[in-house]
Amino acid sequence: MGRIMIFTGKGGVGKSSIAAAHAVKAADEGMRTLLISTDMAHNLGDLFLQPVGREGAAVAERLDALEIDPEYEMEHDFHHMMEAIYEMLPAIRSQEGSLSMIPGVEELFSLLKVKQIYESGKYDLIVVDCAPTGETLSLLKFPELASWYMEKFFPLGKVAMKVMRPIVRPLFQIQLPNGKAMNDIENLYQQLIELDQLLKNRNISSVRLVAMPEKMVVEESKRNYMYLNLYHFQMDGLYINRILPQEADAAFFTRWHQLQEGYIKELEEAFGNVPICRIPWYDTDLNGIDALRKLAGETLQEDHLFDVRKVVDAETYKKTENGYELCLYLPFAEKDEIELHEGTMEVILKIGNFKRDIMLPSVLSKYRINGAEMKDQTLHIHFEFVGQ
């Protein structure tokens, strides 16, 4: 079974360098490895000092690199799915014929490409070098959202579609597809469900966060961690990059050392359960395979570097005396900013601008929420039996 490692973090913190160092090390250790960039501002070519591009290139023994071009993928590999989407949203085609205006679509197709490559079985390890965190988060939550929309619009299969057509059109301004396109839509739907499952499969995929000991980055990393948990991704590694070496002891750096120490401590406290790797600030840029090998050799020495490392479960159900309890591990979520809504078979959780629908297992269909409390960074939602 292959492995997918997703590297994310704020812009400029060192995602590409650290992702690439992992890829180089994996290939050196004998794994067939692909380093794939989904960041529109690609720089794998600069990192390896050779053109990479959307067709990909072999950059070392057993190591390929690829800079995804979502527009190109949409036109080529996913042409049918694009047609399906155009079929549903004809207005899009007329407006410059581009889908990229729908937020998240490019990221979605980048991820579908990752899935396609994963399924080809060509690689033991796929290292994904992502766009900066904001974009990555929308990217990671997209499969779930997309499936949700698909389910709302097309829940009943082809026959019911005919019946729904007159109702749906005026409400949503969405053209319902004809029979042929329906296959493509069903296919797209299926792909989205599988993508969501693949990225959340804790035997295959995990997310590694790259940070720097710096105020803004620390704040963003903490929130990022909470959202990754909220959306059910396994976050199994934090990299604190650009730590000033102790030798940098000129008076100017003394204050910086202190500041960095403070932020490193804050990160360590916040990511208590997650394995942390410290990376020093080098006195040169990290370009070229030799620099990446040096980085890997000096900092990526831990055992099980490429495994999915088991960290506290983010979402668990427990049986209680008079019902069930759903425990959501939400580090850094403030009690006051959490909003909880109860649907028929779902719980809707809002934290700031983020929203998540947690589909409840069918065993809870005869239960209702009768309380919730935040304890030890975990939101405990209680369900009690209410009968038919």
Q: Which does 17 bind (CB under 5 to 8 A by kind): ligand ADP, Mg ion, none?
A: ligand ADP
String of b and e for 144-181 (b: at least 16 CB within 10 Å)? bbbbeebeebbeeeeeebeebeeebeeeeebbbbeeeb
Rule CB under 6 A: say whether 148 interacts with ligand ADP.
no
Among 281, 317, 332, 367, binds ligand ADP (CB under 6 A): 281
Are 47 and 20 in contact by the 8 Å Cβ rule? The answer is yes
In angstroms, what is the minimal distance from the CB of 250 to ligand ADP?
A: 18
In angstroms, what is the minimal distance from the CB of 295 to ligand ADP?
A: 7
Indicate the residue among 47 and 84 with the shorter CB distance to ligand ADP.
Answer: 47
Q: Which among 259, 276, 286 is positioned nearest to 221, based on CA atoms?
A: 276
Q: Phi/psi at 361 (nearest 5 deg)?
A: -65, 150
Rule CB under 6 A: say whether 360 interacts with ligand ADP.
no
Indicate the residue among 4 and 13 with the shorter CB distance to ligand ADP.
Answer: 13
Q: Which does 103 bind (CB under 5 to 8 A by kind): ligand ADP, Mg ion, none?
A: none
Rule CB under 5 A: say whether 241 interacts with Mg ion.
no
Are 92 and 85 in contact by the 8 Å Cβ rule? The answer is yes
Q: Which does 279 bind (CB under 5 to 8 A by kind): Mg ion, ligand ADP, none?
A: ligand ADP
Among 5, 13, 139, 150, binds ligand ADP (CB under 6 A): 13
Rule CB under 6 A: say whether 242 interacts with ligand ADP.
yes
* Sites for Mg ion among residues 7-26 (CB under 5 A): 15-16
- How far out from the chain centre does Cα 29 lie? 26
Would you tell me how many other CB atoms lie within 10 Å of the CB of residue 328? Answer: 24
Among 21, 126, 207, 279, binds ligand ADP (CB under 6 A): 279
Rule CB under 6 A: say whether 256 interacts with ligand ADP.
no
DSSP string, 48-82: HTS--TTT-EEEETTEEEEE--HHHHHHTTTHHHH
Q: Which does 11 bind (CB under 5 to 8 A by kind): ligand ADP, Mg ion, none?
A: ligand ADP
Q: Which residue has the tokens 């989205």?
A: 192
In angstroms, what is the minimal distance from the CB of 247 to Mg ion?
A: 28
Would you tell me how many other CB atoms lie within 10 Å of the CB of residue 199? Answer: 26
| Residue 367 DSSP class | E
Among 286, 289, 292, 326, binds ligand ADP (CB under 6 A): 286
Q: Which among 209, 204, 205 is positioned nearest to 8, based on CA atoms?
A: 209
Residues that bind ligand ADP (CB under 6 A): 9, 11-17, 43, 241-242, 279, 281-282, 285-287
Residues that bind Mg ion (CB under 5 A): 15-16
